[in-house]
Amino acid sequence: MIAIDDTLISDDLGEVFFICDLGRCHGACCVEGDAGAPLDEEEIGEMEDVLEKVRPFMTEAGKKVVDETGVFDYDAEGNFVTPLVNNRECAFVYFEDRVAKCAIEQAFNEGLISFKKPVSCHLYPVRIVKYKDFDAVNYHKWSICDRALVTGKREGVRVYEFLKEPLIRKYGKEWYQKVDAAFKAKRSK
């Protein structure tokens, strides 16, 4: 475990190799699971603000769910999450060549909005648990990502390296540099 500022970072982020392989998993993390993607409270307002520009990329079923529930729902613990279609796929998922993709991210990629997607989605397979005095930053091992482990090992890319952009988005460049230095120091021992 590495302590940086107000975070405790699992050693797995620096030891596990990982590169998402959409061609193999087909974006299963957006379709499988027992709840939608975790949302920070401030993200709800951002999602409401961009919804009309995101809607053209959504499925009809996703639009219907969002029309009925809004851009968020609650998980079993009462936390904010994205709503689900048929208690399965994220309401913001659309499919391209059988691969689940994010309608929010597509609107971002086309320059229509400045909000890329919920940070929890951007960070996956990292999950953050917020405690009173710190955030626990953990790698979430899930069998649907097994191919990403193979690809990451072949390319020599660790979880925290693969997730450099979203980790900087969440905690800042200086924090990321400290994490990078700490993991490199651990490897050199």
**Which pTM was predicted?**
0.88
Question: For residue 26, what pLDDT is reported?
Answer: 86
Per-residue pLDDT tens for 6-38?
A: 999 999 999 999 999 888 888 888 888 778 899
Q: Maximum CA pair distance of the chain?
A: 55
CB 35 within 8 A of CB 76: yes
Would you state the pLDDT for residue 143?
Answer: 86
Q: Which residue positions in the chain have pLDDT lower than 70?
A: none
Closest CA to 9 of 113, 149, 139: 139
